[in-house]
Structure formats: structure tokens, C-alpha cells
Chain A
Amino acid sequence: MRKSQAKAEVDMSPMIDAVFLLLIFFLVSTMFKKEDRDIDVDLPESESALEVRPDDETLVIGIDEGGRLYLQGQPTTKTKLLYDLRVTASNDPGRRIRLDTDRNTPFATVVEVLDLLQFRNLSNVVIRTYDEYYNR
């Protein structure tokens, strides 16, 4: 009489499930850790904007509808912005600067900030706009 030769096998499915769950957990938690640098503005529309590759190192300056200033999503003052841009110009003159403005932001304030960036020799400046082409 022959003994049964059936081999004991490990079921891999639960392990694969667990690995995928871990993977998703780390992906989601990493995404949540990103700093929110955007402010709530109604962007001006553009029909000829160029898409710029996102960069986590971009310094975001925001100007809302009332002309209030923000740096990296946090409210700031004019005096402090002058100083912070002086430091940025000294440490990293090539750093990309993104200007987020509302479509109703007073243009004089935008000019003031652009002039300040030029004076600080920060020339890698982009202006964020809404382009229907990239949102189809």
C-alpha cells in the first residue's frame, strides 16, 4: 500500500494582500505629508500658458484678492517678504519662484512683487494661471 505523497504548500495570497496594503498605506501617507503651499485664489485664465514640471522646491508667493501676501501658503508681511527673498537670493539665486494671484488681485501689488523679485535677482519666476487646455 502506497503512502499518500501530497506536499504541504504555503498559500501566498494573504502575504501578497498584506504587501499591497502596506504599499498603498505608505503611498497615501507620503502624499499626505506634502506641504500645502497653495492659497485659495481664483486663478486668471490663460490660453497660451506653458506647462511647467512640478517642483517641490518651488518657492510659492501668493497674493489674494485683497492684496494680502502669502509665502509658502502662510500669511506674511511686506517687510518679512523683503527679508525672506533677500535670504533666498543669497542662498539659492536660481530657485524657482511661483506667483499665485487671484484674477482680481490689484495689479499694482503684482508689479510690486515682480519688481522686488527682479531687484533681488531672482529671475526663475513663473506665474500660475488656469488653462483650459491642461484641464480637459
Chain B
Amino acid sequence: MNDFWQREDEGSSAHRLAWCVAIGAHVVMLAILIANPSLLSSRLTYNEEELREQLKAVEERSREREERERAEREKREILEEHQEPLRDEFERRERPDMVERVQDLERLRDEVRELAEQRLEATANRDPENSDSIPPELEVPETPREIPLAERDVPELYAHAETLEAEIAELYDAARAADLAEAEDMSLAEAATAVVPSTRLERPPLDAQLQQASFGTVAELSQYRELLGQAVAEADSMRAQAASRRDQLAGPGGRPALASGASGQGKTSSGRPGAGVAVTSAGPSGEQSQGGGELRITEALERNLRAEAVAAQALPGRRFTDEAERSGWLYIDTWYVIGPWPREPYRRGKPLPPEYEVNLDAVYLNGKQGTVQEARTHRRLDLDGELRWQFVQSDMLFVRPPKETRDAIYFAYTEVFSDRPREVLIAFGIDDWSEVRLNGEVIAQGDAGSWRLGQELETVTLQAGYNDFLLRMENGGELMDFSLVLIPSAGSSAN
């Protein structure tokens, strides 16, 4: 044996190496088997006992499945048997919440009715010598309450809430028609046909779904409970919408007053509460943007206004305070924009709903319709006439409206804050025909072939607190941009 390891003849080293590899491989295999004895057993102990265990496991699984199915059957039987008591129990839990919301809706309906009737009466009697009569389409009959609320079930309460919401919307439209009649100096009958109907949100038919619900399975039971919860949530939404309408009619003292302008001829709106100019509110002092300083706007500044310089130097912002560090031209980068309306028949300032009331939750249905091509992307745009306000922010001087198309009218609304009354120079760049309102009053109106900053320069006074800007833009061409820049102090970088 020693000879084998000590031999030096040819081929002996190869033999030794082969032996080493073989022994090493066996050692490794042995180690693996010791470490994982299951490798060995799985091959060797596959016997009758294991087979029996496997069959037993299959039988157990089958028995479990049968038990589960039996339990499901029993549950279904129990649910079917107790369907009515369960329905009553779930309803009993949700009914007080629903009753509370419907009661609130009834109260809001009464308030909106009172406000609408006051407006209609005031408009009808505006001319003491020639009083107008209220047309039947503006008289909204009151929904009778035949059964006390506490005795109604949730589907009935939901249906009643929907009726109340529709009634509130009709009353609200009647009040808006009265506003339109006064602003445009037209009769109430004419205003009733001219007024654009306000938002009518589509509600899911939960009353029918609740009445048709059955309790065959636990899933259906859960679904019924979800429907009940959804009914309460929808009633919540109706209440919020109704409260918003009541606030808008109630006037600056009690409403979230936004810009409420007049007709396109530069008139201010009617003097009745709620139709006036925006509120003056002493807001908090801020430090976000434009710096203050006494205004010394010179003719030279206006003459030397160069669009390129402004475009290069203007910074975004909407707050003017004395403490702020930023100075120079400031462009308004944040807007709510709505459109497009068709240019015909509303061309040249023919009033559209945002000019009477800026309601950011409103949906208008008289927008542009049909298939058009979007100006910049050349994508197909299917316009269905439904318009909503959209939040738009721009990282540059130019702001572009959504759904940019030719022969269209857009509105843009924003707020600007000033910590004290402050004179500012405003430059607009809007194409083509435009009208700019500050706090409900027209400050500029004009026509421009294309976008050019400085086409309109106005010196205006911002009131202390929040100031509302409303832009009306009528564009003939495909492309459209608008810009609004302000400078409050002398020595600005625009010089």
C-alpha cells in the first residue's frame, strides 16, 4: 500500500489524484446524507404505512370539505329564516343617522325656499310702476311629508332625500334666474328659459337596491350593510351640497363668497345680498411672496415694459406682504379653469354662468360638443358639453387651459392675498378677446390678435385680504395661452 503512495512512475500521480477525488466525493455524499437523512428515507421508506397516511389525509380533507358545505347550507338556512329580523336590526342601527340627515335637508330646503322667494319677489317688484309676475316654471311646489320621518325605513328616507335635493336645486335655479333677470334687465319669464340649470349630481338608486336585496349568503348580508352605509354617505353628500347652495344664496355675511360678477358690459352686479362683489377679509400676514413698499408707478415703467424681461424675471406667487423678501414681477401660477364653451352664440361677452357665480363644484352642461382635435397634441377630443372647474398650475408665465381647442370660451379664476390695501400694476397677456374682473368689477376688456404681455396694463388697488380675479377668454385660433403678472412696488426688476 505504501508503494502505491510512494511510487514515482508515470501515471501514478494521476491514479492518486483519481483516488483522492473518488474518496472526497464519497465523503461529501456521506456528509450530505447525514445532514439530510430524509433524502435516504424518502427513497427507502416509501411503504404501505405512508400510503395509508396519505389516503387518510385525503379522507380528512374530503370530510372537512363536506363539513364546510354543510355549515354553508345551515348558515344559508339560518339567514333565510332570519332575513326580516336581520334587515330590521341593520336598519334600526342606520335609521337615526338617516333621519338626522333628512331633517337637516328639510331645514335647508326651507331656508333655500325662503331666500329664493325673497329674490323672486324683489325682482318681480323692482319696477314699482310695472311689476313683473313670477312665471309658473319658477314656482317650485313643496314636497309634502305624508309619513313622519321616524316611521319610514331607510329606502324611503333615501328616496325622500333625493326628492328634497331635487327641490333645493330647482329653488336654487329659480333664485339664479331672478339674479339673471335683474343683471340683464329682462323679465322673469325670459330669465327662466335663459338660465343654465345648475349641477344635478347623479345618485345611485340605493332605495331600489335596498328593497331588492336578499340574504342568501354572508357576502350578501355584508353587501346589504354596505348599501345602508352608502345611503347614509350619499345623504351626507346631499346635505353638504344643499348647505353649499344655501350659503351661496345667503350672501357675504353667511356664505363662502367668491367672485360674483355682473354682465359682460362692465356693470356691477345687483345690490342684493349674495350677488355683490367679493368679501373683504383681513387675512393673516404671510411671508411667501412679493415684497411691499410704496408704489411709484411711472409712465416710463409702463412704456418700458418688455415682455422678455418680465418673462425671464417673473416669479410665481399669490401673496403680497410687507415682510416678504421676494420682489419684482410676480406671475400668477395657480388657477381654476373651466371651458370650452362654444364661441357662438356666446361671443363678445354674452354672459355665461361663471360671471354670475363662481362655484367650483358646479357642473355645466352647455359646453362645446362634438369631436375636435386638441391644439398641441393633435389628439382626438370627444367633448360632451359637460364642464367642470379644473385646478391648473403652471411652472412658467404662460398658462394653458385644458381641452385647448379653436373657437372656444374659457374662464379662469384665482385669488390673490394682500396684507393691506395696495396699488399694483397688472399686465395681461390673453388671446383673443378677453375681459378681466377684479373682485367682481371689470378692470379690463379688449381684443388682441395673439398673446402679447403688456397688451393691457392696468393700475388697480388690491383690497386688504383676499382678492378674486376672474378672466373671460374667447379664442378663435387653435393655440391659446394666458398670463397675468403683477408688480406692487417701485424699483422693480422690470425697470
Q: A-side interface residues toward B, CB under 8 Å? A: 68, 74-80, 82-84, 86, 89-90, 93, 108, 111-112, 115, 118-121
Give complex CA distance A86, B286 in Å. 13
Give chain B interface residues in 339-373, CB to chain A under 8 Å. 358-361
Provide the residues of chain B in CB contact with A115, threshold 8 Å.
334, 391, 393
Provide the residues of chain A in CB contact with B417, threshold 8 Å.
119, 121
- Per-residue A-contact encoding for B275-302, CB less than 8 Å = 1, 0 else: 0000001111110100000000000000
Provide the residues of chain A in CB contact with B334, threshold 8 Å.
115, 119
B393 touches A121 (CB 8 A): no
B256 touches A82 (CB 8 A): yes
B281 touches A90 (CB 8 A): yes
- Per-residue A-contact encoding for B293-334, CB less than 8 Å = 1, 0 else: 000000000000000000000000011000000000000001
Asked if B169 lies at the interface with its beta carbon under 8 angstroms from chain A, I say no
Q: How far is the CB of A70 from chain B (nearest CB, A)?
A: 9
Q: How far is the CB of A41 from chain B (nearest CB, A)?
A: 13
One of B257, B284, B389 near A93 (C-beta < 8 A):
B284
Instruction: Tally the A-B contacts, defined by beta carbons under 8 Å.
Output: 71
Q: A90-B284, A111-B393, A121-B319 are in contact. Are A79 and B359 (CB under 8 A)?
A: yes
Provide the residues of chain A in CB contact with B165, threshold 8 Å.
none
Provide the residues of chain B in CB contact with A86, threshold 8 Å.
256, 281, 283, 466
Provide the residues of chain B in CB contact with A74, threshold 8 Å.
236, 240
Give complex CA distance A108, B391 in Å. 8
B241 touches A77 (CB 8 A): yes
Provide the residues of chain B in CB contact with A93, threshold 8 Å.
284
Of all chain B residues, the one with the shortest Cβ separation from A68 is: B237
Interchain residue pairs with CB less than 8 A apart (9): A68-B237, A75-B237, A79-B248, A79-B359, A80-B244, A83-B255, A86-B466, A115-B334, A115-B391
Provide the residues of chain B in CB contact with A84, threshold 8 Å.
256
Of all chain A residues, the one with the shortest Cβ separation from B248 is: A79
Provide the residues of chain B in CB contact with A120, threshold 8 Å.
283
Give complex CA distance A90, B285 in Å. 9
Give complex CA distance A118, B283 in Å. 13
Q: How far is the CB of B390 from chain A (nearest CB, A)?
A: 9
Give complex CA distance A109, B247 in Å. 24
Q: A75-B233, A75-B237, A121-B319 are in contact. Are A80 and B243 (CB under 8 A)?
A: yes
Give complex CA distance A76, B281 in Å. 22
**Apart from the given pairs A74-B236, A79-B244, 14 other A-B contacts in the complex at a CB distance below 8 Å:** A74-B240, A75-B237, A75-B239, A75-B240, A78-B360, A80-B240, A86-B281, A90-B282, A108-B391, A111-B391, A112-B391, A115-B393, A121-B283, A121-B417
Give complex CA distance A89, B417 in Å. 12
A121 touches B243 (CB 8 A): no
Q: A77-B361, A78-B361, A79-B258 are in contact. Are A121 and B240 (CB under 8 A)?
A: no
The 6 closest A-B pairs by CB, nearest first: A83-B256, A121-B286, A93-B284, A78-B360, A77-B361, A112-B391
Q: How far is the CB of A3 from chain B (nearest CB, A)?
A: 65
Give complex CA distance A76, B257 in Å. 16
Q: How far is the CB of A126 from chain B (nearest CB, A)?
A: 19
B284 touches A80 (CB 8 A): no
Asked if B431 lies at the interface with its beta carbon under 8 angstroms from chain A, I say no
Provide the residues of chain B in CB contact with A76, threshold 8 Å.
240
Asked if B173 lies at the interface with its beta carbon under 8 angstroms from chain A, I say no
Provide the residues of chain B in CB contact with A119, threshold 8 Å.
318-319, 334, 415, 417
B283 touches A82 (CB 8 A): no
Give complex CA distance A71, B236 in Å. 12
Give complex CA distance A86, B256 in Å. 9
Which of A76, A84, A93 has the most CB atoms of chain B within a 10 A radius of its CB? A76
Q: How far is the CB of A112 from chain B (nearest CB, A)?
A: 4
Give complex CA distance A77, B238 in Å. 11
Provide the residues of chain A in CB contact with B258, threshold 8 Å.
79, 82
A121 touches B284 (CB 8 A): yes
Provide the residues of chain A in CB contact with B243, threshold 8 Å.
80
Provide the residues of chain B in CB contact with A78, threshold 8 Å.
360-361, 389
Give chain B interface residues in 234-266, CB to chain A under 8 Å. 236-237, 239-241, 243-244, 247-248, 255-258
B391 touches A82 (CB 8 A): no
